[in-house]
Structure formats: structure tokens, C-alpha cells
Amino acid sequence: MHTHQHDHSHGGHHHTIKDTHALKIAIVMTLTIFIAQVIGSYISGSLALLSDAGHMLSDAGALIIAFIALKMYVNGSKNKERMQRFTFGFKRIEVLAALINGIILFSMCGFLIYESFMRVFFHTADIHAEPMLITSVIGLIANIISAYMLHDAHHLSTKSAYLHVITDLLSSIAVILGGIIIHFTGWNIVDAILSIGISIYILRSAIRLIKSAGIILMDSAPRGITSEHIEEVLCAIHGINGVHDIHIWEIHPGDISISAHIITDLEHHSQLLEEARNTLIEHFHTKHITLQVENAEFAKDHGCDHCSSREE
């Protein structure tokens, strides 16, 4: 006997429309900033501005991913044939895109750090502070507008996009301060140092993206949750004599799924399953639970290979 519970509370239709509209504006703003900063970097000779442009391109990718995810959720949920094939929905597209985004960011940062060190130790390029400042201020204003549009987002992907925009704000402020210093002091080396700092900051994000996406794609258990912990929680319930074949994974960050076989001698399982389901929700905030009920004899005769190998 199985119990299957899935939480479909992704926010109302109104919230989806509102988040989609906010994302459209943020995408246009971010791509505009990116183009402006690439042009501004070429005119001013600023690597810091180019590093920030790379940051903008990364965040534009994150915003586009969030937008596509929302659109696919809305369209996919209406398409019965498609949902029969993709039974977990389309949330993994965010993870795949995050992995690609992380790899591109990693490569870009390596190039920028190399160029910055070349400027520090071999030749410092002449930086024109005025176009650097003008472009950075435009970027700051556009980021403030994007942050305002996204600040009350309801969907997980849109909230993530909001955090990206906030980091863009901080990055733009750093470049503005660097431009002011160069304008009044003529210390062009500040630009290369800023570029290294921004690149290292982005590099850390890129490594986290690659690592997080890899862990999810490998169907690893989320941090802080183990099969032993789940077994302990379930076995504490009266009527459950044993638990095996436990699997924990994430469809995308925060969307935890749990499946397990529970052993009981009780003839009526409904109340036991309900208690087990509520216990897992309370302890692990899971949205997707699948439990299979077995008696001791069935469990002994049909033990899974996974359990056998674990016992060895």
C-alpha cells in the first residue's frame, strides 16, 4: 500500500502574473546595464566595469532562467500530455541552467583575474574615470528599479533573482567608489584591484552554483538530512517496526522528496501512514512523500539490493 502526497502551493495565479511582469522589467534593465557597461568599459578602459558587466550578464541569465521556469510551470501544468512525461514538472531546468551559468562565470572570471594581474604587475592602463562613473551610476539606478520590482516576489525562483539584483547593487557601488578615487587621485591601479575583487566574489558564486547544481543532479540528500535521521524519526512512531529503502533528494533547491518502505504488523494502515506523513513534513518540510507499507515477511523476502549492500 502506498501513500503519496504532493504540495502544489506555488502561489496563486495573481502572484505568478505579478512575478512574471517584474521579471520582464528586471531582465530588460539588467541586459541594458550589461550593454552599457561593455560600451563604457571599452571607452574608459576599465576592467572593473567589465567585471561588473560580467556580473550583470550572469544575473541576466539567472533572471531569464527564473522567467522561463515560471512560464514552463504555467504552460506545462495546462498540458496533460507533457505532464505525463515530465511527472516532476520542469524545475530541474533551473538546475541545468545554473550549472551552465556557473561554468561560463568560472571561465570569465579566470580571464578577468589574469588580465587584472597583468595590469598590476606589468602595465597599468589609462582609465577614463568620467565614462566609468556615468555608466556605473546608470547601472545603479537600473538595479534599484529592478530591486523595487522584485522585492515582494512570491515564487522561489523570483526571490532568488531578487538576491542577484541586490548583489549587483553592491557591485555597482564598488565601481562608483573606484571611479571617484581614480578621478581625484589618478591611481589607475585601483581599477585592476577592484576587478580582481569583483571577479573573486563572482568566482565564489560560480563555484557554489556548480557545486549545488552537481549535488542536486546527483540526487544527493540535502545538507543536514540523512537516511539514518529519517529512519530514527519514523521508527519512533508506534506501530512502525522498521524502515528501509530510504531515498532523499531535491528536484530543485528547497523542494525535498522522500521515499521509504516501512514495516508494520498492523492491519489498518491509514492512521499510521497519516502520522508518518505528518511527522516527515514537520521534521523535514518536505513537499513530496512516498511510503510503501510492508509486513516483516514481505520485507524479508523482497529486500532491496540497496539495503542489502548497506548492511554488508
Where does the pLDDT of residue 280 fall: very low under 50, low under 70, confident under 90, or very high at 90 and above? very high
- Helix (H), strand (E) at residue 312: none
Note the helical H segments in 186-264: 189-217, 227-235
- 126-174 pLDDT per residue, tens: 788 888 888 888 888 887 887 787 776 555 455 666 666 777 777 788 8
Asked if residues 126 and 32 have their Cβ atoms less than 8 Å apart, the reply is: no
DSSP 8-state secondary structure symbol assigned to residue 122: T
- 5-33 pLDDT per residue, tens: 444 444 445 556 666 777 788 788 888 88
Note the helical H segments in the chain: 13-44, 47-78, 80-85, 92-121, 129-150, 156-185, 189-217, 227-235, 270-284, 296-301, 305-311
| Structural domains in the chain plus CATH codes | 9-217 (1.20.1510.10), 227-311 (3.30.70.1350)
- The residue whose grid cell reads 496533460 is 80
Instruction: State the pLDDT at residue 301.
Output: 67
In this model, does residue 299 exceed pLDDT 50?
Answer: yes
Report CA 68 to chain centroid distance, whole Å: 14
Count Cβ atoms within 10 A of the Cβ of residue 113 and give its class: 0-12 exposed, 13-18 middle, 19 or more buried.
buried
pTM: 0.66
**Across all residues in the chain, what is the average pLDDT?**
78
Which amino acid is present at 16?
A: T
Percent of the chain at pLDDT > 70 equals 77
Compute and round to an integer the Cα radius of gyration of the chain: 25
- Helix (H), strand (E) at residue 292: strand 288-294
